[in-house]
Structure 1
Amino acid sequence: MDFLDELNGFFRRIQLDVEGRRREDRALNSFSVLSAPKPSKNILVVDKVYFYAKNNAIEHHTVRYELVHRQPETAVFRRGQPFTFIIRFADGKSFSPGKDILRLHFNLGPNPSIIKHTQGILNVQGDEEEFTKESDQWDIRVVGKTADTITMQVQIPVDAPIGIWKLEVYTGEAGDAAERLRLYNCPNDIYVLFNPWCEDDTVYMEGEQDGRSKASNLLDEYVLADVGKIWMGAYGSARGREWVFGQYDDATLPVCMYLLEACKIPHFERANPVVVSRALTKMVNQADGDNGILHGRWDGKYEDGTAPSAWTGSVKIIEDYLMTNMPVKYGQCWVFAGVLTTVCRALGLPARPVSNLVSAHDTNGTFTIDRFFDEKGNAMDIDPFNPGGETDSIWNFHVWVEAWMARPDLPKGYGGWQAIDATPQERSAGFYQCGPASVEAVRKGQVGLVHDVAFVLASVNADCISWRADKNSEIGFVQASCDRYKIGKQILTKKPFVFDTVGQSDTEDITNTYKSSEGSNEERISLLTAVGSSVRAKRFFRYPERSGEDVVFDLIELERIAIGESFSVVVTLQNRSKQARTIHATLSATTNFYNGVKAHLVRHASATYILQPMAREELRLPVSSKDYISKLVEYGIMKLHASATVKETNQTWFEEDDFQVIMPTVDIKVDGAKKVGQPLEVTFTFVNGLKMKLTQCKMVFEGPGLTRSDFREYPDLAPGETLTISTKLIPKFAGEHSLIACFDSKEFTEITGSVKVVISK
């Protein structure tokens, strides 16, 4: 059997497991002993192994995993700490030290090896009262015996590879050769995860916060929290979009393990979070044709799948992927980040989504975002310096994930948060994968440190340069302008322990972890340190910005408008010379996809002006709601463009500004006893104030502990009409829950709402 057959077999097994649980018809008793010849009366016969999955899960911080509560019991443990289990023997026999052989083999993968740390062999003597081995070794102690059982604790090595381990139990009589031992194959899966609570684990989070343990508190947010936010939108109007991570769903862990198999990481390397996190960035997307989880798409054409803005969380994506064994359509950066966060947290790797507002995509490694104009000032749609012609781009926002880990492969001081990105933008080492890039290395410009530090640094701190064709220049172009402040305006994530369903009080600005203050000596030194490591980048930074230009232009920025409002494109011009200037100016407004690609032209105007000496004027292009409302695309992003040339001096100026049209929200009301097992009456309300008919309407809602992802369809919604959908939900467990809703239609998406619900026992 080749690797592909084994992989497909593994996938089919977990698929059948989940299908069976969904139908609730899986047999409860799956502890049958493998058929074997009847053993000698003197050899112990293992009847059953009890892992006490629920009891151990409390100590291992895994009690919320649904697999723990299913039948047959599935153990979910964290490495670096012990678990308790019982072996019961048949025929009322008991284990006799010195007389009986009892040997345990914990195995990972098809070819387990002690040398490769994918096998642990423990010989039970019966008198082991304490652990005696180091934390990086398998160890065992006996904590109790009865007439037909033995209770033991096993220490999982702190550097054990994560994955699905299996237990083999060998029994025999003292002096028996290995081939005469009786084998019991325990049918239960043992999931072993990273352990950020363990000080010796490379994913441990340390420190103190407000007099409390920072590790335990922050892990409540970055490992245990199954609902969070992802910041989306243009700078000045970005807001946190609610997202259900759902790492405890019974499909999530099996799919995580499949991803590790599919990317062919050797089992022994799965102990290393650097290797694992990098592999996950490759497998959450399918751009390499390796059957990853998500198809990416950014052109608004989602008829054969689900629009990215219509997802409310990761669980439905993961379950669709599992049930079809095909990549799910469709994802965008924030969806890739949401799923990647889910996978990391499920495996015990602390993780959080991070949003970079005004994010650069540097295609040629120059740490610049370059715009090119011909000698007449007309914008060029290619990069003449890039052999492939690909152009740099600026995304309104881009979302990746930070994962927490030590970096023993790097110099001291570069551990902690690491940027990992599953969005397929550029290949790294031949594949669409990115990271882990040390955030501290990004801040210091240490682009020589693996992995992909240079790409992340350009995303947050590239210079934006405008080039104008000039035959007298040795490279054919001169630098017309340089904006050092445009990229990486804000880098945002969710503030720990806060979840604001109404406002944005849960926003945490972490820009200073990626770069020093814009324009400071430290920021420039960091960027120039990176530039100094690249021959190509040094050539771009060699050419100085032109100076002495005497007309000052300024595009007045907008942050946001409510849908239906009008606005204007406004440019101010100031002539600082004592001569009149002839200026040709162009103003336009477009709707854009958030990755910077133009969707529709809304309005455009150009004209030539005579600007008198020392004069100041204002150019204005009005835009009404009728001009743009039918041309909006997902997330309501619009872009203002302004360019000008000065005839007398050949001065060229170009500027653009992004802003967001703000959509209405979904209102959610919850009534009822708000107790476990008792129905809640939930009402979702959306008022169509968009002055146009909405078609193919759908309300999607989701809330861990309340409901899996569900939806209700509604054909059309007339202008001014109110859509009201009511449903009943049964809470499964006590505590604070989040219920998230998303209204989707053919004409508009990204209309959301959320509410907190506190459930008592």
Structure 2
Amino acid sequence: MDCMQQTAHNIAGTDSGHCHLRLVDFEVHENNISHETQGLSKKHLVLRRGKPFKLTLRFRGRSWNPHSEGLVLEVWLGSLSERIPVQFSDTWPNTQHWSARIHPGSVHSESVTIHICSPVQSSVALYNLLLHIETRQTIRSFTVGSFVLLCNPWLQDDPVYMPHEAQLQEYIKSDYGLVFMGTNLNVCQRPWSFGQYEPGVLEACLTLLDVSPQHLSDENKDNTQRADPVYLSRVVCAMVNCNDDLGILHGKWQGDYEGGVNPTEWSGSADILRRWVSSNFSPVRYGQCWVFASVLCTVMRVLGIPSRVVTVFNAGHDTNASRTIEEFYSSTGEKLNLSKDSLWNFHVWVECWMRRPDLSAGFDGWQVVDPTPQEKSAGIFCCGPCPVAAVQQRCLSAPYDTSFIFASVDADVIRFIVRNGVVVGRMVDSELVGQVICTKRIGSDTPENLTPAYKRKKSSSLGQTSSGLEVSLNIKGKPSFGESIGMSIKVTNNSSESRVLVEHVDAQVKEYNSSPQGSFWKMHKEVHILAHEALTLQHTIPASEYESVLAADGIVNIAVVIKDVRTKERVLDSQEFNISSPQISIEIEGGDSIQINKEHTVQVSFTNELTKTLTGAVLTVEGSGLLKGKQEARLAHLKQGEKMETTVSIMASSPGTKVLMATFSHSSSPCVVSRIFHKVSIIEA
């Protein structure tokens, strides 16, 4: 039934001589504008707590008599209810309870408009509303309908209040964001459609609350606690992963992704949320950190809690609460999988904005909430909300999970060189972890540096000089797929004796969140260095050495170990970097803003800039809300320098921001060679 108007149903009292409620007009258009909820639902009236809304009652039989008949509203949340006597007044009572009033003079022969206000600390939920028409002798009761209450970041008394309109537009209303990925040496970005205006998304977010373990075990307690954004963020965080509950996403980080979707192929939250609901809450396969975080960001924005997706480059995963990350290398520079700790090239979580009445005032503001299932918090896989200020101030006992978050951004890395099971070298790097922390800038597609908000500047640095031997490794430029990798290695002899050294360099492919795979390139040679001399050694890895093993935006670990032949002293340095993919071109006829319900043509092309002819070339285009399914173009042979093109038609049925994705692969390699995401803005005709 259209939520603009609903027929009222009489549920008690049937005296035909009295006034009866015929119709309820929820004044949806006006209420949505007033409450900043336009487009969130076509099924429900969506409101923000603590702000008045209005509805108009239309009667039949005879007009309502305000002198002899009282109006009492009754609001229900589950089995909890509160009666709201309707009063004639021009002012709102200063109360923490529901209130309802009629402006004097707004009563007409067959209708009356009532203004209703919820408490600012109302629970986020779907409510039902009844109306009782009461006289001294009778009570006639009618079902009025239902409405959704969300947090209200526009209202100063709400704990999620955010003072600036530009922030509210970016962190609540915008359905588009960017996820930064890759490495801090070569940051890449991909657009994400949060999709809060897509059909069914708001309802999915409310359903998520209703199938949480907290709600299923004690409905009344959960309904009451939903007023608190700290509580809401922990419930939602745990429900985004499926590890403890009927959660949304199943995480997977290695192997094949048969039976699901490769995490790299997701470009928006709406498709994931709708799949979860339509499968009767079976987990959607598969997610990784940026997918978990982006879905969490969608849910929190829908619930009215300002949120943003944040990337930490070189994020530490500290498994034993030591606030150090241990890494192991062979004596020839190969990184070994010997540690339970890990250093992720990037990790993505969410910051949510709220006051923290459970803590001191200095911890209000941005809070880290991380739904990627890594470690348990109070027995479940969730993390946060952790005040960003507590991380910076090193208040590691502040709830929730501050010590773990601190290690993610500020742990020391201890690197061990191991030979035949014995440690033969040890270095400490105090600057690598959390080297860059960033989010999408307000109103721009550029990154905003958040690092100073998390970290105080450290007094230096690399503890890798023992008896005067130093080494540093630098990658030249930002390597692109199909180009050679250039590096320079500076070796410094601070001692007063000349030395004979052996240089070992090792290159490995790795996933962003795990240890490298086997080496694809190695070299070693003898180096002679004079006393107090600094040498710079140059090396190049041809593209042909890595083209068959690297996927799109693949990451490489290169390490150098320098060994003194006489003293057996060893020093190490390493660098991890991503190789940029060859570009796919996407051009939309008429530009990147398209009209709703109108067909538009898209030209997609890929030029083979690799060093060889590619066989079995496939160019794939897809986009949730723009295309049905995948569209593929195939070519048996794509010669070096040759261009491959395809044309597709797109059309959007709902407004907002969508994302087109194109991928290029070929049968010569199991890897996707290139992937691109392209933002499309949908505008009303």
Q: Could you tell me the TM-score, scaled by structure 1's length?
A: 0.80
- Alignment correspondent of 1:302: 257
User: Matches of 1:382 and 1:203 in 2, distance apart?
Assistant: 44
What is the one-letter code of the residue matched to 1:133?
N
- Asked if the contact 1:308–1:331 (Cα under 8 Å) also holds between the matched residues in 2, the reply is yes
SS of equivalent to 2:374: coil
- Alignment correspondent of 1:517: 457
- Alignment correspondent of 2:136: 174
- Alignment correspondent of 2:495: 577
SS of equivalent to 1:633: coil
- Asked if the contact 2:596–2:682 (Cα under 8 Å) also holds between the matched residues in 1, the reply is no
> What does the per-residue CA deviation read over 1:228-281, in whole Å, with 9 as the maximum and x for residues that have no partner?
211111112112211111112222111111221222251111111111112211
Deviation at 1:373, TM superposition (A): 6.6
- Alignment correspondent of 1:319: 274
- Asked if the contact 2:179–2:190 (Cα under 8 Å) also holds between the matched residues in 1, the reply is yes
- Asked if the contact 2:469–2:495 (Cα under 8 Å) also holds between the matched residues in 1, the reply is yes
- Alignment correspondent of 1:502: none
Deviation at 1:408, TM superposition (A): 1.0
Given the superposition, is the C-alpha separation of residues 189 and 693 from structure 1 closer, same or farther in structure 2, using an over 3 Å criterion? farther
SS of equivalent to 1:150: strand
Deviation at 1:663, TM superposition (A): 1.3
Deviation at 1:353, TM superposition (A): 0.6
Deviation at 1:651, TM superposition (A): 2.9
Deviation at 1:670, TM superposition (A): 3.0
- Alignment correspondent of 2:46: 76
- Alignment correspondent of 2:359: 410
Deviation at 1:431, TM superposition (A): 1.2
Given the superposition, is the C-alpha separation of residues 607 and 426 from structure 1 closer, same or farther in structure 2, using an over 3 Å criterion? farther
User: Matches of 1:169 and 1:37 in 2, distance apart?
Assistant: 11
Please, which moves more after superposition, 459-468 or 316-325?
459-468
- Alignment correspondent of 2:68: 99
> What does the per-residue CA deviation read over 1:327-371, in whole Å, with 9 as the maximum and x for residues that have no partner?
111111111111111111111111111111111111111111123
- Alignment correspondent of 1:184: 142
Q: What 5-or-longer segments of structure 1 have no aligned partner?
A: 1-25, 113-118, 207-214, 384-390, 471-475, 500-505, 525-543
- Asked if the contact 1:309–1:634 (Cα under 8 Å) also holds between the matched residues in 2, the reply is no
Map 1:539-688; keep pairs closer than 5 Å.
548-558=466-476, 560-606=478-524, 611-619=529-537, 622-671=540-589, 676=595, 679-688=598-607
What is the one-letter code of the residue matched to 1:742?
A
Deviation at 1:514, TM superposition (A): 0.8
User: Matches of 1:710 and 1:375 in 2, distance apart?
Assistant: 50
What is the one-letter code of the residue matched to 1:89?
F
Deviation at 1:708, TM superposition (A): 7.1
SS of equivalent to 1:57: helix
Deviation at 1:381, TM superposition (A): 3.9
- Asked if the contact 2:11–2:143 (Cα under 8 Å) also holds between the matched residues in 1, the reply is no
- Asked if the contact 1:426–1:432 (Cα under 8 Å) also holds between the matched residues in 2, the reply is yes
Please state if 1:62 is matched with 2:37: yes
- Asked if the contact 2:425–2:571 (Cα under 8 Å) also holds between the matched residues in 1, the reply is no
- Asked if the contact 1:676–1:732 (Cα under 8 Å) also holds between the matched residues in 2, the reply is no
What is the one-letter code of the residue matched to 2:133?
T
Please state if 1:713 is matched with 2:632: yes
- Asked if the contact 1:242–1:740 (Cα under 8 Å) also holds between the matched residues in 2, the reply is no
Deviation at 1:98, TM superposition (A): 4.3
- Alignment correspondent of 2:662: 742
**Equivalent pairs, count:** 663
- Alignment correspondent of 1:51: 26
User: Matches of 1:717 and 1:342 in 2, distance apart?
Assistant: 41
Given the superposition, is the C-alpha separation of residues 377 and 197 from structure 1 closer, same or farther in structure 2, using an over 3 Å criterion? closer
Map 1:10-29; keep pairs closer than 5 Å.
none
- Alignment correspondent of 2:234: 278
- Alignment correspondent of 2:311: 355
User: Matches of 1:225 and 1:253 in 2, distance apart?
Assistant: 15
- Alignment correspondent of 1:211: none
Please state if 1:131 is matched with 2:92: yes
User: Matches of 1:243 and 1:511 in 2, distance apart?
Assistant: 22
- Asked if the contact 1:599–1:633 (Cα under 8 Å) also holds between the matched residues in 2, the reply is no
Counterpart of 1:156 (choices 104, 118, 128) is 118
Given the superposition, is the C-alpha separation of residues 760 and 76 from structure 1 closer, same or farther in structure 2, using an over 3 Å criterion? closer
User: Matches of 1:604 and 1:258 in 2, distance apart?
Assistant: 54
SS of equivalent to 1:145: coil
Given the superposition, is the C-alpha separation of residues 329 and 462 from structure 1 closer, same or farther in structure 2, using an over 3 Å criterion? same
- Alignment correspondent of 2:159: 202
Given the superposition, is the C-alpha separation of residues 365 and 589 from structure 1 closer, same or farther in structure 2, using an over 3 Å criterion? same
User: Matches of 2:576 and 2:15 in 1, distance apart?
Assistant: 79
Given the superposition, is the C-alpha separation of residues 38 and 160 from structure 1 closer, same or farther in structure 2, using an over 3 Å criterion? closer
User: Matches of 1:201 and 1:74 in 2, distance apart?
Assistant: 23
User: Matches of 2:117 and 2:425 in 1, distance apart?
Assistant: 63
SS of equivalent to 1:132: coil
Judging by fraction of residues, say which structure has more strand.
Answer: 2
Map 1:75-474; keep pairs closer than 5 Å.
75-91=45-61, 93-109=62-78, 111-112=79-80, 119-125=81-87, 127-134=88-95, 136-143=96-103, 144-176=106-138, 181-186=139-144, 188-206=145-163, 215-263=164-212, 264-265=214-215, 266-288=222-244, 290-299=245-254, 301-325=256-280, 326-372=282-328, 381-383=337-339, 391-467=340-416
User: Matches of 2:348 and 2:312 in 1, distance apart?
Assistant: 6
SS of equivalent to 1:419: strand
Counterpart of 1:724 (choices 646, 662, 678) is 646
User: Matches of 2:684 and 2:211 in 1, distance apart?
Assistant: 42
Deviation at 1:302, TM superposition (A): 1.7
User: Matches of 2:330 and 2:672 in 1, distance apart?
Assistant: 38
- Asked if the contact 1:573–1:617 (Cα under 8 Å) also holds between the matched residues in 2, the reply is yes
SS of equivalent to 2:153: coil
Deviation at 1:512, TM superposition (A): 0.8
User: Matches of 1:600 and 1:469 in 2, distance apart?
Assistant: 17
- Alignment correspondent of 2:219: none
SS of equivalent to 1:513: helix
What is the one-letter code of the residue matched to 2:143?
N
- Asked if the contact 1:101–1:171 (Cα under 8 Å) also holds between the matched residues in 2, the reply is yes
Give the fraction of aligned pairs with identical amino acids, expressed as a percent: 29
- Asked if the contact 1:242–1:754 (Cα under 8 Å) also holds between the matched residues in 2, the reply is yes
SS of equivalent to 1:345: helix
Given the superposition, is the C-alpha separation of residues 758 and 62 from structure 1 closer, same or farther in structure 2, using an over 3 Å criterion? closer
Given the superposition, is the C-alpha separation of residues 27 and 418 from structure 1 closer, same or farther in structure 2, using an over 3 Å criterion? closer
User: Matches of 1:708 and 1:362 in 2, distance apart?
Assistant: 42
What is the one-letter code of the residue matched to 1:701?
G
- Asked if the contact 1:43–1:172 (Cα under 8 Å) also holds between the matched residues in 2, the reply is no
User: Matches of 1:573 and 1:341 in 2, distance apart?
Assistant: 46
Please, which moves more after superposition, 660-669 or 430-439?
660-669
Given the superposition, is the C-alpha separation of residues 751 and 423 from structure 1 closer, same or farther in structure 2, using an over 3 Å criterion? same
